[in-house]
Structure 1
Amino acid sequence: MSVDERAPAMDEAVLPPVPARRRAPSPAGAVVVIVPLTLTIALGLWGIRRKNTMWGDEAVTYQVAHRDLSQIWLTAQHIDLVHALHYAVMHGIFGLFGGGLLTLRLPSVLAMSVAASGVGLLGLRLAGPRVGLLAGLVFPLLPQVQKYAQEGRSYAMVCALVTWATYALVVSVPQRARWRWAVYGSTMLLACLLHEFAVLALVAHGVTLVVSRVPRPVLRAWSAAAAGVVAGLAPLAIFSAGQSEQVSWIGGPVRLQYFVVGAVVGVVCALAPLGRRGPVPLSALAVPILVLPGLLLLITSLVKPLFVDRYVLFGNIGIALLLGAWMDYFHRRQRASHNAWIAWTAAVVALAALVQPSLSLRTPQSRSNDATAIGDAVREEGRPGDGLLYVSGRYRAWTAADPEDTRSLTDLALAQDPVSSNTLAGVELPAQEIAARMLEFDRIVAVRDPAGAPAPTDPQNEAKTSTLRRHFREYGTTHVNGARVTVYVRDRDPS
């Protein structure tokens, strides 16, 4: 064989190996993130202004977040320590984007959108792309999610953080890398610092790992992360326990029916063979986070009422995952059946049933009170120089969001305003001084509780009501959502 004949073979021998082609990344991950996120943003922006109204808790967020950071901290020493971090976050957002109504609510819209994408990824990780997409689409359609996506409070942010902490948990189970557990712990801690009842999700995560029979090293890693969360939350929990009067208004479970219906539906869905593709079964993750936090609050309420549906808003992660997995299971069963049209009919009926709640949630009447309407009524009924009387101090905090409503009136009970006193409602005069000041006016605009509400029993409010009853007569009352605004005139008749 000649040298020329051997050359090609030698050239081929020294050629570098051709690298194997990488498989193109699956678009499923992008779809289960982008589609739910887009839908949630669209639903969140729909009717976000609610006719330019805000309810009482939002009004508190609005006025406290406009204070300096030092004032926010000093206020938290007196009241609302559990929301101090949220007020500080909103203070920064107001400083960057202005302090309007949209700025108050847009962070919640974006947070809930991030939560929806996290739900989609959880479904993808635990049961496949179709479950991820279905769960991510179900989540923003839930009435409770739509409601709190449009509120200037911390609950949507807490829900987003718990969602992504849950995803970090699921990812950490097979990987076991320390930095992943650090991400999980820090995300959970941040959620708890925004609202301390987020720690109930930590309990649900522990039950998930135990039920799933994960290896002991995983349980030890989770226990270390959980201990860090509890240690970080402990100072807030201890000091906020001294402000327990903040939840004294809870006389019993608030909107319990939503939790009960969701828990029952979720457990029924979990009875189906939903399968397992991830490091933990989908049911083992979804059922505890749906049921346990609310159940623990209900048990605690036997001693002290604490159950409010928004405190466990993150439970909607569980119902969305279970409904998405159940729809996927039903689709697989009916795919080759002539009864598949039943599934489509049921889906259309379910969507139609959500239309009315979605519409009503975007009206001022959908909230338990309307601070804007109260301020409007005070402005319309009051005349320059009239006295202004808050029979309950919380109404002063609500109307402080728009001072123009009360600027021409004289607050008869106020000794020190909310900002200078580092409080929400200010400091009031002693009872005798309030009564004396009331008698200096011939016309008083009083903001009172709705008819049928229990009357305040503290000395200041008793002095207000007794003086009105003895020396004034009712001229007219405007009933608004959450309050009554009554004009009183001085009764000059000695009889």
Structure 2
Amino acid sequence: MCTERSTGPPFAAWTVDPEDPDLFMNSPLNLLRSRLPVWLVPVPWTLALGLWGLSRQHSVWRDEAATWMAAQRSVPEIWHLLRQVDAVHGLYYLLMHGLFHCFGASTTTLRLPSVLAVAVAAACVTAVGHRLAGVWAGVGAGLAFGLLPAVQFSLQDGRPYALVSAGAALSTLLLVGVLQERGRTGHWVAYGGTVLLCGLLNWLSLLILPAHLATLRWTRARRGVQVRWAVAASAAVAGTLPLILFSRTQAHQVAWIPPLTWQKMIGPAVLLTLGALAALADRPRGGRLSAAAVGLPLLAVPQLGLLAVSLVRPLYLDRYVLFSMLGLALLIGAALAAAVRSTGHRYPRASRWLVPVALAVAVVALLPQSLAQRSPASRVDDVLAVAGEVHRLKRTGDAVLFLPADRRDTAQVSPGDFAGLRDIALVRDPVAAGNLKGEEASAQRIRSAMLAQHRILLVTDAPEVAPPVSAERDRAKADVLKRHFTAVADERVRGRRVTVYERHP
């Protein structure tokens, strides 16, 4: 099958051709019989997956709580925050600030940008697959992308990783466009600008550049194309470099990420194995632009790159390279298209159903996982659930403590539930302190304030996820409660714990 497509605007010209041998008339995908652009096919599917259970039973976990707290601050307060912590997420926080200002703070406002971003990414990977391997490859890739477990996690998460994936998908589409056609200056400006935007959302997304370089080498791109790519890539890196250098001063924020173990490498190994097997179906050959030439580097290079970095400094979290799932989806689409072609000659009627049946099987197989991702238990904790318990247990005149201080996020996200409680350890609130947990008094002052209380509500982690108590202030809190107070109520809910203590007679 010819992989070349008509020239022109990347999306507008890519409509379904009734004469395309990959398109079987009377297919279950009747939508494809119209002049509807192919890249639109996975959009309603992905949006439906994203909107399904979007509120997760009105739960918000700790990472989303950071977005929530930052987005509700003024722009000067956000800049003050970024000088202390989370500089790497600054652009995302400013974007969410604008959305919260326009539409109000809610779980829908928090997560809908991720839903829309994944839909954009699915549309782009569909367009790439269509260009490289035909209609079924594009449709298969786009529909598969939203079903991948890692994507389903970020699909409904109020963090920037879905937005990065959308930008990575768009930059890959632009690269494929200039490899198939003679790219103009505007295409390279758009490519460099998209990579730069992704870098400002999360600079680890720059790992897409060596993946794209591998594609250029694999396909033996013209020297002029490689030079222009190098210029665009260098500009994107240069634009991101100040953020990279400044965020390194906040490296303590990722100190909690555990070192690599063999167990943690099983997941990436499985993904790379699946990708390699799917690439074989595309019959990759050097010098040919194909789904394998684009998808395999896009999957493998970011994963291997982050693993290599993590051998020196632990940084590996799969969501940091979520955009590599675009490569896996593209390879899955190419494998499905190859299966359609191989069965189409002998069983043309059955081949029409291959992609829809494969999709249905995948939906059924992944249904337990899909349901789990849409429950509060899918995240490590729930700041709103514990706030509800505080509201139920508190009494007028009670004091509240947070152990560690980071658990103050629940009071920041849901201040109404803490109304009337005195935060006896706090001397500067998080906004004034320019961080997300505030500034607490010395251990001695905290000890004295606690001994003056009759009832204290302690908000902390559930034992199964609680880190060891190490800070002097936290040791003081635990020691006073153990020596001078008795627990009279203890509630554990979704990764967090509220314990009510009363002073010994």
Would you say same fold, with TM above 0.5?
A: yes
**TM-aligned CA distance change 1:347 to 1:102, over 3 Å:** closer
Could you tell me how far 1:84 is from its partner in structure 2?
Answer: 0.8
Partner of 1:478: 491
Partner of 2:42: 36
Question: The residue matched to 2:37 in structure 1 has which SS?
Answer: helix
Partner of 1:360: 372
Question: The residue matched to 2:490 in structure 1 has which SS?
Answer: strand
Q: Distance in 2 between matches of 1:360 and 1:193?
A: 31
Partner of 1:81: 87
Conservation of the 8 A alpha-carbon contact between 1:256 and 1:309: no
Counterpart of 2:388 in structure 1: which amino acid? D
Q: Distance in 2 between matches of 1:35 and 1:262?
A: 25
Could you tell me how far 1:98 is from its partner in structure 2?
Answer: 2.1
| Residue from 368, 372, 394 that aligns with 2:406 | 394
Conservation of the 8 A alpha-carbon contact between 1:389 and 1:447: yes
Q: Distance in 1 between matches of 2:480 and 2:281?
A: 65
Partner of 2:480: 467
Conservation of the 8 A alpha-carbon contact between 1:127 and 1:276: no
Question: The residue matched to 1:389 in structure 2 has which SS?
Answer: strand
Q: Distance in 2 between matches of 1:489 and 1:478?
A: 15
Conservation of the 8 A alpha-carbon contact between 1:389 and 1:411: yes
Partner of 1:6: none
Partner of 2:275: 266
Residues 80-123 of structure 1 show CA distances to partners (whole Å, capped at 9, x for unaligned) of 00111101001111222222221111111111111110011110
Q: Distance in 1 between matches of 2:380 and 2:215?
A: 35
Partner of 1:120: 126
| Residue from 291, 295, 298 that aligns with 1:286 | 295
| Residue from 384, 408, 416 that aligns with 1:404 | 416
- Alignment RMSD: 2.2
Pairing 1:127-142 to 2, within 5 Å after superposition: 127-142=133-148
Comparing 221-230 with 295-304, greater Cα deviation is found at 295-304
Partner of 1:103: 109
Pairing 1:180-219 to 2, within 5 Å after superposition: 180-219=187-226
Could you tell me how far 1:476 is from its partner in structure 2?
Answer: 2.6
Could you tell me how far 1:151 is from its partner in structure 2?
Answer: 1.3
1:439 aligns with 2:427: no
Partner of 2:234: 227
Q: Distance in 1 between matches of 2:398 and 2:279?
A: 62
Comparing 470-479 with 284-293, greater Cα deviation is found at 470-479
Conservation of the 8 A alpha-carbon contact between 1:32 and 1:136: no
**TM-aligned CA distance change 1:26 to 1:487, over 3 Å:** closer
**TM-aligned CA distance change 1:352 to 1:45, over 3 Å:** same
Q: Distance in 2 between matches of 1:442 and 1:244?
A: 40
Partner of 1:381: 393
Q: Distance in 1 between matches of 2:119 and 2:285?
A: 26
Q: Extract unaligned runs of 5+ from structure 2.
A: 1-11, 17-34
Question: The residue matched to 1:369 in structure 2 has which SS?
Answer: coil
1:325 aligns with 2:338: no
Counterpart of 1:394 in structure 2: which amino acid? D
**TM-aligned CA distance change 1:162 to 1:346, over 3 Å:** closer
Counterpart of 1:327 in structure 2: which amino acid? L
**TM-aligned CA distance change 1:149 to 1:448, over 3 Å:** same
Q: Distance in 1 between matches of 2:36 and 2:246?
A: 43
Residues 388-439 of structure 1 show CA distances to partners (whole Å, capped at 9, x for unaligned) of 1101111102331110111121112100111122211111101100010000
| Residue from 49, 57, 60 that aligns with 2:66 | 60
Partner of 1:455: 468
Partner of 2:318: 309
Comparing 433-442 with 26-35, greater Cα deviation is found at 26-35
Share of identical aligned residues, percent? 41
**TM-aligned CA distance change 1:347 to 1:140, over 3 Å:** closer
**TM-aligned CA distance change 1:329 to 1:295, over 3 Å:** same
Conservation of the 8 A alpha-carbon contact between 1:112 and 1:156: yes
Counterpart of 1:249 in structure 2: which amino acid? W
Comparing 314-323 with 351-360, greater Cα deviation is found at 351-360
Conservation of the 8 A alpha-carbon contact between 1:259 and 1:294: yes
Residues 194-227 of structure 1 show CA distances to partners (whole Å, capped at 9, x for unaligned) of 1111011111111111122111111111111111
What is the TM-score when the length of structure 2 is the normalising length? 0.88
Could you tell me how far 1:127 is from its partner in structure 2?
Answer: 1.2
Conservation of the 8 A alpha-carbon contact between 2:220 and 2:287: no
Question: The residue matched to 1:87 in structure 2 has which SS?
Answer: helix
Could you tell me how far 1:315 is from its partner in structure 2?
Answer: 0.9
Q: Extract unaligned runs of 5+ from structure 1.
A: 1-23
Counterpart of 1:333 in structure 2: which amino acid? S
Conservation of the 8 A alpha-carbon contact between 1:193 and 1:236: yes
What is the TM-score when the length of structure 1 is the normalising length? 0.90
Comparing 336-345 with 73-82, greater Cα deviation is found at 336-345
Could you tell me how far 1:474 is from its partner in structure 2?
Answer: 2.1
Q: How many residues align?
A: 469
Could you tell me how far 1:348 is from its partner in structure 2?
Answer: 4.0
Residues 266-321 of structure 1 show CA distances to partners (whole Å, capped at 9, x for unaligned) of 11111223468997221111111111112111121122211111111101101111
Partner of 2:151: 145
Q: Distance in 1 between matches of 2:493 and 2:374?
A: 17
Runs of 4+ in structure 1 deviating by more than 6 angstroms, as ranges, are: 275-279
**TM-aligned CA distance change 1:426 to 1:350, over 3 Å:** same
Could you tell me how far 1:187 is from its partner in structure 2?
Answer: 0.3
**TM-aligned CA distance change 1:124 to 1:279, over 3 Å:** farther
Residues 165-198 of structure 1 show CA distances to partners (whole Å, capped at 9, x for unaligned) of 1111111223132221111000000001011110
Counterpart of 1:59 in structure 2: which amino acid? A
Partner of 1:238: 245
Question: The residue matched to 1:302 in structure 2 has which SS?
Answer: helix
Counterpart of 1:474 in structure 2: which amino acid? A
Conservation of the 8 A alpha-carbon contact between 2:219 and 2:287: no
Question: The residue matched to 1:488 in structure 2 has which SS?
Answer: strand
Q: Distance in 2 between matches of 1:179 and 1:25?
A: 18
Comparing 38-47 with 469-478, greater Cα deviation is found at 469-478
Conservation of the 8 A alpha-carbon contact between 1:165 and 1:187: yes
Question: The residue matched to 1:289 in structure 2 has which SS?
Answer: helix
Conservation of the 8 A alpha-carbon contact between 1:126 and 1:276: no
Conservation of the 8 A alpha-carbon contact between 1:393 and 1:425: yes
Partner of 1:27: 15
Q: Distance in 2 between matches of 1:54 and 1:403?
A: 14
**TM-aligned CA distance change 1:39 to 1:72, over 3 Å:** same
Counterpart of 1:490 in structure 2: which amino acid? R
Conservation of the 8 A alpha-carbon contact between 1:31 and 1:133: no
Q: Distance in 1 between matches of 2:302 and 2:370?
A: 26
